[in-house]
Amino acid sequence: MEQIIRILPSGISELLYGFSGGSMEDVEEIRLRVNRPVEVTSDGTPHFLPYLFSKQDAEQLISSLAGHSFYTLDEELKRGYVTIEGGHRIGLAGKVILEEGKVKALRYFSSFNIRIAREKIGTADPFIPLLYDGGWKHTMIIGPPQSGKTTLLRDLARLVSSGSQEHHIPSMKAGIVDERSEIAGCMHGIPQLQFGPRVDVLDACPKAEGMMMMIRSMSPDVLIVDEIGREEDRAAIMEGVHAGITLIMTTHGNDLEEIKKRPLLKKIIEQEVFERFIELSRNKGPGSVVSIKNQYGQVVEVHV
């Protein structure tokens, strides 16, 4: 949290140090809205601090993010978020400036959503026997927003890159296509989180295009992507399968049966590309595994 506290107005920082809504380790988001109280979400529950975020606070925060150079920030603002040291992502809302129907910039910032990037080393360890058998299995992680999909994906990427002596898994080349700068949390293209020695990242790159770039130029053993769901994603997925590359990906949804109802994902599932489906929920906090299923939809392990 230190990277975040350093960029916040001092009045907010002081309140965060004395935060009584739970452990700071459980904080997931900090939302700052002009002329409204600061909102801190901890373990899924919103808490409001006795501090009214002002227009001057917003200007100070943007100045900190820009390093006092708005030119360097412009490209990130077009995407609606900024990644800071530590891999934390700050979403922004305000006045949108258009040029020929496309977003050119954001100005007059009114809201900031600071999403805390957390590494939970070892999150994926209990599932290794089901996901690795002489090689990594094509795996899809399914869950609603803030259910821990990206956290689990991140730890699997670390395992692929680092290997595991305990489980007799060799280090392999991991290619991450990080469209929203959320998996690796890159700053200037460099991952801020731990991934081991054999990871390559395409940061802020559209998924489908990035997958094809990785396949053609970086020859990954395992391709790792967050939030698939578009038609162009399907074509790139099949290209990776035909190239002999293992896929580990996430998608929004409550369970396998739900995502089967989406035409695009139904096509992929019916081709039995993915050998494992990990279903997550927030019932017992982010990262709660409901069940793990095989390519036929049969449960191979239940955790609830």
183-239 pLDDT per residue, tens = 998 877 888 888 999 999 999 899 999 999 999 999 999 999 999 988 889 899 999
Residues 161 and 98 in one domain: no
Does residue 89 sit within a domain? Answer: yes
Could you list the residue range(s) of the whole structural domain that residue 6 is in?
2-115
Q: Give residue 68's pLDDT band: very low, low, confident or very high (50, 70, 90).
A: very low
Share of the chain above pLDDT 70, in %: 96
Residues 109 and 131 in one domain: no
Residues 165 and 295 in one domain: yes
Q: Which of 44-58, 75-89, 112-126, 282-296 has the lowest mean pLDDT?
A: 75-89
Does residue 241 contact residue 139 with C-beta atoms inside 8 Å? no
CATH number of the domain at 51, please: 3.30.450.90
Average pLDDT, the chain: 89
Share of the chain above pLDDT 90, in %: 57
Asked if the model's pLDDT at residue 1 lies above 80, the reply is no
Does residue 62 sit within a domain? Answer: yes
List the structure tokens of 159. Answer: 């395992």
Q: Give residue 146's pLDDT band: very low, low, confident or very high (50, 70, 90).
A: confident
Asked if the model's pLDDT at residue 69 lies above 60, the reply is no
Residues 22 and 158 in one domain: no
Residues 220 and 156 in one domain: yes
Residues 28 and 69 in one domain: yes
Asked if the model's pLDDT at residue 274 lies above 70, the reply is yes
Looking at the structure of the chain, the number of domains it has is 2
Does residue 26 sit within a domain? Answer: yes
Does residue 169 contact residue 159 with C-beta atoms inside 8 Å? yes
Residues 43 and 165 in one domain: no
Does residue 120 sit within a domain? Answer: no
Domain-ending residue, one of 94, 115, 136: 115
Residues 132 and 38 in one domain: no
Residues 145 and 76 in one domain: no
Query: What strand order describes the sheet that includes 276-281?
Result: 199-203, 174-178, 222-225, 246-252, 139-143, 276-281, 288-294, 299-302
Domain-ending residue, one of 90, 115, 140: 115
